[in-house]
Amino acid sequence: MSGFPLSLPAAINLREVGPRDGLQIEKPIPTADKLRLLESLVAAGLRRIEATAFVSPRAVPAMADADQVAAELHRWPEIEWSALVANSRGADRAIDAGITNLEYVVSAADGHSQANAGRSTREATDAIPEIVAAVQKVGGQCEVIVATAWDCPFDGPTSPARVHEVVGHAHESGVDRVCLADTIGTATPTRIVELVESVRERVASTPIGLHMHNTRGAGLAGILAAMQVGIVDIDASIGGLGGCPFAPGASGNVATEELVYLCQDMAVETGVNLELLLRAATAAENAVGRTLPSNLLKAGDRARVPPPRPAGRLV
């Protein structure tokens, strides 16, 4: 731990989710562009990458090429690739395609669960053992992502008891990790720390990850607080790719390069090269054809040299 009087971990275990959570709401981009993006993320030093999702191609056209993406991942054997699934059919598809590290998403709020997956939280929770069994059969890992862990766009604040119910079942089903997701980017440090601490009490032996959005600008503040209570499994999305279909124009995930900048400046190890990561962010911008919300991408690393004579002198 470093950074007195802030208590911070020496390193975090960053997971890049841009190729899945970032791209899923975009218009479909060519598979070749996705592979170039993956290449640039690998080159920057990322070692855990969520590559795609095995979900309905009708509902999420941007993930319709999941099989084609999966078929190319052998190029980068050093990477811990994973995929998101929303039911056991998706899990079977992913495993058939050769991806054995799966994130299974369960919304803690019924409103979001119905809208997102067409079933209640309870029904989604009941499917956990089946997915864990399928993954364990092939020697893979299964994480349960608890969506709307703090707030639901339909049901309002999510009762912590609902989250405990999901993580409790996940724990008893033998998942390798649970991940608390702030799906609409409303959580702030106090509530994050409270939920993390209470989930940790409920499932002490299961690692807890964090998936924050920056929709209201508080993404990094929330991650800082979580790091202070020992959370190291943290998601981020290159360029801040992603968003929420309920809030047009709203920024989405925490930008990977902003998280890496924050960590690097605080001497918290990420294993990532920031300069190469900014190239990957530019690749992501080119791939989707629009400016991404990352502030760091606009400003550049602080090593950037300023022009010799600025405008705006005061006197």
The nearer residue to a copy of itself, 24 or 100, going by C-beta atoms, is 24
CB 64 → a copy of itself: shortest distance, Å? 13
Query: Residue 76, Cβ neighbours under 10 Å: how many?
Result: 17
C-alpha–C-alpha distance, residues 131 and 133, integer Å? 5
By CB under 8 A, how many residues form the interface with a copy of itself? 78
CB 2 → a copy of itself: shortest distance, Å? 8
> Is there a cis peptide before residue 293, judged by omega within 30 degrees of 0?
no
Determine the interface stretch with a copy of itself among 129-137, 166-174, 184-192, 203-211 (rule: CB under 8 A).
184-192
CB 74 → a copy of itself: shortest distance, Å? 26
* CA separation, residue 136 to residues 8, 37, 118, 179, 208 (Å): 33, 30, 26, 19, 19
CB 106 → a copy of itself: shortest distance, Å? 11
Query: Residue 259, Cβ neighbours under 10 Å: how many?
Result: 28
Determine the interface stretch with a copy of itself among 9-17, 71-79, 134-142, 306-314 (rule: CB under 8 A).
306-314
Q: Using the rule CB under 8 A, is 3 a contact of a copy of itself?
A: yes
- Supply φ then ψ for residue 240, to 5 degrees: 75, 20
Q: Interaction with a copy of itself in 235-294: which residues (CB under 8 A)? A: 244-247, 249-251, 255, 258, 261-262, 265-267, 293-294
How many whole angstroms from its chain centre is CA 184?
13
Task: Work out which of 15, 162, 164, 191 binds a copy of itself, going by CB under 8 A.
Answer: 191
Task: Work out which of 28, 98, 153, 174 binds a copy of itself, going by CB under 8 A.
Answer: 153
The 3 state secondary structure assigned to 57-119 is CCCCHHHCCHHHHHHHHHHCCCCEEEEEECCHHHHHHHHHCCCCEEEEEEECCHHHHHHHHCC
In this structure, the dihedral spanned by the alpha carbons of residues 189, 191, 193 and 197, taken in order and rounded to 10 degrees, is 180
Active-site annotation holder among 142, 179, 244, 263 = 244
* Nearest residue to 150 via CA among 165, 142, 160: 160
CB 191 → a copy of itself: shortest distance, Å? 7
According to DSSP, the residues that pair with 305 across neighbouring strands are none
The nearer residue to a copy of itself, 79 or 247, going by C-beta atoms, is 247
CB 25 → a copy of itself: shortest distance, Å? 6
- Contact string (CB under 8 A) for a copy of itself, positions 69-108, x = contact: -----------------xx--x--------------x---
Task: Work out which of 71, 172, 217, 286 binds a copy of itself, going by CB under 8 A.
Answer: 217
Identify the sign of the CA torsion 187, 292, 38, 262. negative
Q: Using the rule CB under 8 A, is 64 a contact of a copy of itself?
A: no
Q: Note if 244 is an active site residue.
A: yes
Determine the interface stretch with a copy of itself among 95-103, 134-142, 220-228, 277-285 (rule: CB under 8 A).
220-228
**DSSP secondary structure string, 24-57?**
GGSPP--HHHHHHHHHHHHHTT--EEEEEEES-T
The nearer residue to a copy of itself, 40 or 215, going by C-beta atoms, is 215
Residues marked active site are found at 244
